[in-house]
Amino acid sequence: MFDPKAEAMSRDERAALQRHRLWGLVDRLLVAGGLQAGRLREAGVKGGADVTLAELHRLPFTTKQDLWDHYPLGMLAVPRDQVVAVHGSTGTRGRPTLVGYTRADLDLWAAMCARSLACAGATELSTVHNAYGYGLFTGGMGIHQGAVALGATVVPMSGGMTERQVRMIADLRPDVLTCTPAYALRLAEAAAEAGADLSSLEAGVFGAEPWSEELRAAIEAALPLKAMDIYGLSEIIGPGVATECLEQNGLHVNEDHFIVEAVDPATGEPVAEGAPGELVFSTPTKQALPLLRYRTGDLASLAHGECNCGRTLVRMSKIMGRVDDMLVVRGVNVYPSEVERVLLGTGLVAPHYQLVLDRRKPEHTGLLVACEAAGEGAEEAAARLVQAVQAELGLTADVRVLPAGTVPRVEIGKAVRVVTWESGPAPLPGLG
């Protein structure tokens, strides 16, 4: 562990720490004024001492829309001259979401990413090949700072230049690979084509996009490593909010700094432990952009109990999907990750796919599933996949098993799993 005292403290001790830090967060928000302070006062909160962990769910939410409404940095809780860095989202669903960081915030972020790397077995003797993108996106810089804080050697490759990435892994012999799960598959594919030796790899820390257990199996079959999930979002701090350890039985949430809840997306009420819900985070130790009860839109379940690794932090499941990513196809609600689970679980296709929402007919939306065969028999595979999707998801889909290399590979950024076809030529060859 990077910080055994914090990661393995008793649940009662951690709750006491959270309570005091939550009081401090509320007091700071009230002093800073603005949107969150106004909502707290409307809820009858005059100071931090008015708030308890048990009653946290009664306090108002903060949302991404709030950040957009106060774009670019209107929700800062510190003077602008204390902001030493700005990161943010890609803005694929609207305006970019920008987040300011103080120097202390950067130190906290580095420590959280160091914890994440240690979860994956990294030490000061490790070499971390970092293929997350550097820039406004938090992945690259976050993992880089974490590796430095851990004392490891970091290779700052960023995304793209796949041929060079493969060569650097073969030459520098890193033991840890960090990138998106989709790019890990691309690197494996490129290494196989080049005959490169990636046998030094022992662990992979893959995040920035939801991925299933079936995709984990595909990655571990293609690369000589154990694949761990990492979770974070720029509004909370970036990667390092939660990470799987080598036990691979849930992501440890660094809840001494990020108080997590799971709520019903429709009602906002807490769900039972172990039940899926929308993740909500409060950030009691962040300075520049502290958030109270921030709704992430990410769906997962939470579970307490000590892990075999010794950590006592609450564990979250892998992300099941996003509230706003749900597909409605002929009256059936389904998340892309559920389709991925079925596709890869059959063993009939390679781990490259794309879901095409066919909206050329206004009266209904169809689903085309574009994938590539793992072996021979494309027509037989397609028929069996149609049956599997129908049986497990209750969804009728048109499955197309295309020639190898047809489905786009990700080189930079996140994999695009869902595209919409409203008119014109098909988004992929072979779908017309």
Left, alpha or beta for 147 (phi > 0: left; psi -120 to 50: alpha)? Answer: alpha
Q: Which helix (H) or strand (E) holds 167?
A: helix 162-172
For residue 72, cis peptide bond before it (omega within 30 degrees of 0): yes
Q: What's the confidence (pLDDT) of residue 305?
A: 87
Instruction: Mention every residue, 6+ apart, whose C-beta is less than 8 A from residue 382.
Output: 399, 400, 401
Digitized pLDDT (tens) for each residue of the chain, 432 residues in all: 999 999 999 999 999 999 999 999 999 999 999 999 999 999 999 999 999 999 999 999 999 999 999 999 999 999 999 999 999 986 555 578 999 999 999 999 999 999 999 999 999 999 999 999 999 999 999 999 999 999 999 999 999 999 999 999 999 999 999 999 999 999 999 999 999 999 999 999 999 999 999 999 999 999 999 999 999 999 999 999 999 999 999 999 999 999 999 999 999 999 999 999 999 999 999 999 999 999 999 999 999 988 999 999 999 999 999 998 888 888 888 889 899 999 999 999 999 999 999 999 877 889 999 999 887 678 888 999 999 999 999 999 999 999 988 999 988 888 889 999 999 999 998 887
What's residue 329's pLDDT? 87
Determine the pLDDT at residue 380: 87
Are the C-beta atoms of residues 58 and 51 closer than 8 Å to each other?
Answer: no
Which residues in 192-212 are b (16+ Cβ under 10 Å) and which e? eeeebebebbbbbbbbbbbbb
Alpha-carbon span 357 to 336, nearest angstrom:
11
pLDDT at 90: 67
Q: Which of 36, 64, 57 is nearest to 297 (CA)?
A: 64
Cβ-contact 419, 354 below 8 angstroms:
yes
How far apart, in Å, do the first and last CA atoms of the chain sit?
A: 53
Q: Is the dihedral of CA 194, 195, 199, 203 positive or negative?
A: positive
> Which token pair is 364?
């209904």
Is the bond leading into 429 cis (omega within 30 degrees of zero)? no
Output the pLDDT for position 94: 56
Nearest to 202 by CA among 179, 228, 180: 228
* Structural domains of the chain, with CATH: 1-324 (3.40.50.12780), 326-421 (3.30.300.30)
Please tell me what DSSP assigns to residue 344: H
How open is the CA angle 380-385-389, to the nearest 5 degrees? 160
Task: Give the integer Cα–Cα distance in Å for 188 and 47.
Answer: 53
pLDDT at 93: 54
Total residues belonging to the chain:
432
